[in-house]
């Protein structure tokens, strides 16, 4: 019998929500990251091993899609309704894009870690 078939299923939606909140996808209590984007090796609360999960470029892609849509939509509305200078608008929306990207990137990485964990798409190195 396949060992994967014997393990209990994991709730994808719950794991994604917990990851977005920067919490362990298993228990929802322990912290997911030990620094800005570096995941913990294991959850301090439940002991679930998380350090082996690699999200790669997924979080960056998701962050750029969200930030791009928000900033471009806002820029189009503001430019069409105000008479701000081009230089001011460029500086404002560039800064907004950077701030939003830095703010959303950890949650995006948490979402991908939650998905990978819930779907059992990665295995610890010894397994």
pLDDT digits (tens, 9 = 90+) for 36-69: 999 999 999 999 999 999 999 999 999 999 999 9
* pTM recorded for the entire structure: 0.88
Q: Quick one: pLDDT band at residue 4, thresholds 50, 70, 90?
A: low
Q: What is the 3-class SS of the chain, one letter each residue?
A: CCHHHHCCCCCHHHHHHHHHCCECCCCCCCECECCCCCECCECCCCCCECCCCCCCCHHHHHHHHHHHHHHHHHHHHHHHHCCCCHHHHHHHHHHHHHHHHHHHHHHHHHHHHHHHHHCCCCCCCCC
Backbone angles phi, psi at 120, to 5 degrees: 55, 45
């Amino acid at each position: 019998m396949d060992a994967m078939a014997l393990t209990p299923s994991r709730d994808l939606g719950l794991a994604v929500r917990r990851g977005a909140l920067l919490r362990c996808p298993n228990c929802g209590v322990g912290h997911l990251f030990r620094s800005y984007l570096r995941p913990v090796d294991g959850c301090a609360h439940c002991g679930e091993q998380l350090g082996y999960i690699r999200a790669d470029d997924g979080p960056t892609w998701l962050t750029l899609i969200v930030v791009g849509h928000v900033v471009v939509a806002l820029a189009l509305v503001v430019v069409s309704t105000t008479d701000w200078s081009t230089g001011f608008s460029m500086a404002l929306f560039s800064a907004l894009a950077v701030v939003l990207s830095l703010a959303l990137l950890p949650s995006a990485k948490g979402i991908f870690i939650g998905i990978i964990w819930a779907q059992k798409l990665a295995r610890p190195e010894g397994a």
